[in-house]
Structure 1
Amino acid sequence: MLIEIWSDIMCPFCYIGKHQFENALNQLTFKSDIEVQYKSYQLNPEYHYVAGDTTYGFLSRSKGISVEQAKEMTGHVVQMASQVGLNIDFDTNIPANTFKSHELIHFAASQNKAKEMKERLFQAHFEQGKNIEDQAVLVQLAEEVGLNPEEAREALKTDRYATAVRRDLQEAKQIGIRGVPFFLFDRKYAVSGAQGADAFQEVITKSYEEWKANKPDITFLKSNDDAPNCGNDGCTI
């Protein structure tokens, strides 16, 4: 069963929601039947990092609040993150345009490393104060999760995965997504926001049971173990 997740690396609730979702999924006996796809979303596509800018300054300008109010607001997010074992540090957090990060996740997906790449980007952005708009940083992070750094650099330099990112963004508009994280279960049920693990587990289970019930069983019209075939142990001759 397919679960699609739209999120942005600049979104702390996406980081928290990712962990809540994974905590729920890991407790389910049928998790091997679940395919997770990470979709791109940009909260602030026009923003680009300027040296010296801070998250507090960015929030102050974008939301029309004081820096002190921004610090108070992010303090609540830090507390929420700590409850799921995440150590978000807004004092060192660097606001950034995330388009290239999403390109990197698509590249990682082509190598079956999307989950690891997304987690590493979240960690670098929210916990380690790295500038994820810097392509050198992105290449280093790709190497850290086991991707070929030269291939990652080439993918980012040539915008090879830019079309895939734009397709995700356009699809989000078509679906009507206005906030992230946004979880779509089997193209049937949707959940928005960083829900608790129990809530995710309930929706995953409901979606899976319906998907399983509607999945047609295979009926063999002809079955002969002696007929020539190839399997995991090799081919019969």
Structure 2
Amino acid sequence: MLIEVWSDFVCPWCYIGKRRLETALSRFEHAGDVEILWRSYQLDPTVEPGADGLVLDHLAKKMGAGPEQVRAMTDRVTALAAAEGLEYDLENAHVANTFDAHRVAHLARKYDAGPQVHERFMRAHLIETQHLSDPETVIRLAAEAGVPADEARRVLAGDDHADDVRAEIDLARQFGANGVPFFVLGRTHGVSGAQPVETFLSALQEAYGRAVAAS
């Protein structure tokens, strides 16, 4: 059974949702029959390519909110992430346009490194505060996850996989997604948001049962 997951590397809820899905799969007796495909989505496509600055400042400006309101929001998601074993450092995270990073993630599929790149980019941004708008950082991180550095550099120098990224974002919208994380299980069940583990487990069981019945 195929699970398609739309997420963005800079999305705090996406990493939480990833961990909760993984926990659900660890309790799912047919997990060996499951394949996960990480699909592209941009949490905030309005961020300029090459943009810098801190996420908290960007959020405050975008939301028209004060520092205390933004900090309360990020403190909440940081606490929820900690419960999943993720030590976020959102206070020092850099704002980034992730379109090019997603192009490299598509390249990673060629080397069977898609999941590894997705995990590496998320950890780099949300925990290690590395800057995903910096091409050399993206190249280095991708190489750590199994993508040849020269291939990643070649992709970033051109426009390879740009249409692939756009197509996946469009596909998410066709499924009715207006945010991430968004999970589609077996093309029969959808889960929106970083739901509790029990919700994922129930969806896995129902989608798998339907897939078995259909076959």
Give the TM-score category using the shorter length.
over 0.9
- Paired AA for residue 27 in structure 2: Q
Structure 1 spans left out of the alignment, 5+ residues: 216-237
1:76-117: per-residue Cα shift (whole Å, max 9, x none)? 010000000000001210010010111111111121111110
Which residue is 1:233 aligned to?
Answer: none
Deviation at 1:206, TM superposition (A): 1.1
Q: Structure 1 or 2: larger helix share?
A: 2
Which residue is 1:173 aligned to?
Answer: 173
Aligned positions, number? 214
- Distance change (3 Å), C-alpha of 1:213 and 1:50: closer
SS in 1 for 2:172: helix
Verify: 1:31 aligned to 2:31, yes or no.
Answer: yes
Which residue is 1:205 aligned to?
Answer: 205
Residues in 1 aligned to 2:161 and 2:15: alpha-carbon distance in whole angstroms: 22
Deviation at 1:127, TM superposition (A): 0.7
SS in 1 for 2:91: coil
Residues in 1 aligned to 2:25 and 2:42: alpha-carbon distance in whole angstroms: 25
Which residue is 2:106 aligned to?
Answer: 106
For residues 64-83 of structure 1, the aligned pairs below 5 Å read: 64-83=64-83
Residues in 2 aligned to 1:22 and 1:162: alpha-carbon distance in whole angstroms: 29
Which residue is 2:164 aligned to?
Answer: 164
Which residue is 1:224 aligned to?
Answer: none
Residues in 1 aligned to 2:56 and 2:151: alpha-carbon distance in whole angstroms: 35
Which residue is 1:58 aligned to?
Answer: 58
Residues in 2 aligned to 1:31 and 1:60: alpha-carbon distance in whole angstroms: 41
Verify: 1:190 aligned to 2:187, yes or no.
Answer: no
Residues in 2 aligned to 1:42 and 1:154: alpha-carbon distance in whole angstroms: 22
Task: Give the number of the structure whose alpha-carbon radius of gyration is greater.
Answer: 1
Which residue is 1:116 aligned to?
Answer: 116
SS in 1 for 2:150: helix
Which residue is 1:231 aligned to?
Answer: none
SS in 1 for 2:105: helix
For residues 137-152 of structure 1, the aligned pairs below 5 Å read: 137-152=137-152
Let me know the Cα RMSD of the aligned residues: 1.2
Verify: 1:128 aligned to 2:114, yes or no.
Answer: no
Deviation at 1:212, TM superposition (A): 1.0
Which residue is 1:90 aligned to?
Answer: 90
Q: Percent identity?
A: 36
Task: List 4+ stretches of structure 1 deviating above 3 A.
Answer: none
TM-score by length of 2: 0.95
Residues in 2 aligned to 1:141 and 1:122: alpha-carbon distance in whole angstroms: 10
Residues in 2 aligned to 1:56 and 1:46: alpha-carbon distance in whole angstroms: 16
Which residue is 1:226 aligned to?
Answer: none
